[in-house]
Amino acid sequence: MKTLQAKLYILFSLFFLSREKLIKDTISIIPPEYKNIAYLSDIEFTIFAYFSYKYTHSSAKEKKNYEKNGITVSYKELNRLYISTPHLATVLKSLQDNKLINKSTLSEDKRKTNYILPYSELKKFNEINIKALQFCDFNETDTYIINNLIKGTIALLKSNKIINDEQEKNLDDFLNKSDNYFKFYYVVLALWTSRYLITSFQIKLMGPSEFMVYALIIKFYIKNDKKPITTKKVKEETGLAPSIISQSFKKFIDEDIITRKEINKFKVYFYINKKNLEKRLMNDTIIIDEITKNFKNEDEKSFEKLVDKLSTTLTGKLNSLEINKVCLNKKCGMEIPLMPGLKYCPYCGEKVA
Question: Per residue in 208-230, pLDDT tens?
Answer: 889 999 999 999 998 887 889 99
Question: What is the structure's pLDDT at 19?
Answer: 87
Closest CA to 92 of 77, 82, 102, 81: 102
What is the Cα–Cα distance from 322 to 220, expressed in whole angstroms? 13
User: On the CB side of 247, how many CA atoms lie within 13 Å of its CA?
Assistant: 13
- Going by pLDDT thresholds of 50, 70 and 90, the confidence category of residue 243 is confident
Burial class (CB in 10 A: 0-12, 13-18, 19+), 285: buried
C-alpha 54/C-alpha 73 separation (Å) is: 8
Q: How far apart are CA 80 and CA 73, in angstroms?
A: 12
pLDDT score for 336: 67
> What are the boundaries of each domain within the chain?
4-202+287-292, 205-274, 326-353
Mean pLDDT of 311-332: 77
* Distances 282 to 2, 130, 332 between C-alpha atoms, Å: 10, 28, 48
Task: Give pLDDT, residue 110.
Answer: 59
Confidence bin at 337 (pLDDT 50/70/90) = low
For 287, counting Cβ atoms within 10 Å of its Cβ (0-12 exposed, 13-18 middle, 19+ buried), the class is: buried
Give the residue-averaged pLDDT of 173-195: 91
Name every residue whose Cβ is closer than 8 Å to that of residue 218 and which is 6 or more positions away in sequence.
Answer: 10, 13, 14, 277, 281
- 83 by Cβ neighbours in 10 Å (0-12 / 13-18 / 19+) ranks as buried
Segment 47-74 mean pLDDT = 94
How far is the CA of 218 from the CAs of 210, 299, 334, in angstroms?
12, 27, 31
Strands 258-264 and 113-117, how do they pair? unpaired
Instruction: Give the CA distances from residue 239 to residues 189, 242, 248, in Å, rounded to whole numbers and listed in that order.
Output: 21, 9, 14
Across residues 56-76, what is the average pLDDT?
93
pLDDT averaged over every residue in the chain: 86
Strongest mean pLDDT among 28-32, 36-40, 106-110, 188-192: 188-192
**What's the mean pLDDT in 162-190?**
91
CATH of domain 205-274: 1.10.10.10
Phi and psi torsions of 73, nearest 5°: -135, 140
* Main-chain phi, psi angles of 319, to 5 degrees: -65, -40
Among 195-199, 223-227, 237-241, 299-303, the range of highest mean pLDDT: 299-303
Query: Are residues 335 and 32 in contact, defined by beta-carbon separation less than 8 angstroms?
Result: no
Looking at the chain, the whole-number percentage of residues with pLDDT higher than 90 is: 48
What is the per-residue pLDDT for 48? Answer: 96
Paired residues of 272 in beta bridges:
258
DSSP state letters, 276-311: HHHHHHHHHTHHHHHHHTT--TTHHHHHHHHHHHHH
**How far is C-alpha 76 from the chain's CA centre?**
22
d(CA 237, CA 231): 10
Residue 120: per-residue pLDDT: 95
- Between CA 54 and CA 74 the distance in angstroms is 11
Q: In the predicted model, what is the mean pLDDT of residues 92-105?
A: 90
φ and ψ of 290, to 5 deg: -65, -40
Fold match between 4-202+287-292 and 205-274?
yes
Rg, Å, the chain Cα set? 21
CA distance 51 to 102: 13
**Span between the terminal Cα atoms of the chain, in Å:** 38
Residue 131 has pLDDT above 50, yes or no: yes
| CATH C-level class of 4-202+287-292 | mainly alpha
Least confident stretch, 127-136, 143-152, 196-205, 245-254: 196-205
Alpha carbon of residue 18 to chain centroid: 8
Portion of the chain with pLDDT greater than 70, in percent: 91
In this prediction, residue 87 carries a pLDDT of 83
Tell me what pLDDT residue 331 has: 74
Choice among 2-11, 71-80, 119-128, 328-337 with the minimum mean pLDDT = 328-337
Question: CA nearest 119: which of 76, 163, 72, 79?
Answer: 72
**DSSP, res 107:** S
Say how far residue 214 (Cα) sits from the centre of its chain.
12
Backbone angles phi, psi at 71, to 5 degrees: -85, 125
